[in-house]
Amino acid sequence: MVNWYGGPEVGSRLGPFLVRGVIQAGHIGPVLAAENTVARRVVALKVLRYGSSQNPGVRRWWPGDIPAAARVQDPHLVPIYDWGEVDGYFFLEMGLIRGPNLNRLLGRNRGFLTPERTVGILAQAAAALDATHRGGLVHGDIRPSKILTPPSGPACVLSLGLETLRPLVTDSSAPQHVPDFAYIAPERINETGLTGRADTYSLACVAFECLAGTPPYSATSIESLVLSHLSKPVPHLFALAPHLGFEVGEVIKQGLAKNPEDRYATAGEFAHALRQAIVPPGASHWDTVVMPYPSSATSNPELRQDS
């Protein structure tokens, strides 16, 4: 039976999968918690909305770049186990990571993370992105909700980004949300040749938000956000978070350069530069914090130490 989210009912079977719950609904289909009764593992199961397999355009495209994404192996990428078609659904079987995504983690901590926790998470996300780029792919959809932060174990990036699934989300009925455009690289807007440096830009936006409590650009409309990414001067982190020092802002400013050639060559280079600016070689744990945290942050223990 098909439910409101366009997928099989909780408790039903889909080929070898026993559906245990709904993790997230989505425009192209839900992500389900499921048990693979053959492989004997609990997984995250992405299914395209019921009837998608009968769409000639989707059928011609499927599975697109999914096999290439599955071949990219990194401890900080959510693994893709299998994909195919069963009972009228196209499906994608992925590892199930238990824990909040970075967006929820920021919400729990009033929008901030400690500098060191920020660089720890971003370094792991950068490793995943560099592995993706070495595999010949661009993620294209890096934002806090795409970075999973389990309480134990490494941070992980959801393997499938917008560029992999673009043929499924280009129809004009797809909903667009203002917050999603807070992390979009200028060249994605202009469609002027996408490289891995677009992901570095998005990661720099995430870093800015973790450290300042807000993305670099904020607006109430998609149009205003798009214009900001294209032409508005890059805000300097020092103006919002002077306690971090000037050099940290300079690193993020380079990561947010409008011209991709002016950014760091890889996401890993950006993460390394950020770590060096926050905790220089030979510095003690908190040597770089030269001013107290903003008053909005000091009441939250999560912001004063890593957990």
Active site residues: 141
- CA–CA gap between residue 31 and residue 160 (Å, rounded): 12
| Cis peptide bond upstream of 179, omega within 30 | no
DSSP state of 300: -
**In this structure, which amino acid lies at residue 53?**
S
Taking the mean position of all CA atoms in its chain, how far away is CA 48? 20
282: left (phi over 0), alpha (psi -120 to 50) or beta: left
Token pair recorded at residue 155? 């941070």
Nearest to 58 by CA among 155, 170, 222, 161: 170
What residues have CB less than 8 Å from 73, skipping those under 6 apart?
79, 131
- CA–CA gap between residue 63 and residue 286 (Å, rounded): 48
Contact 270, 208 (CB under 8 A): no
**In this structure, which amino acid lies at residue 201?**
Y
Token pair recorded at residue 185? 């690289």
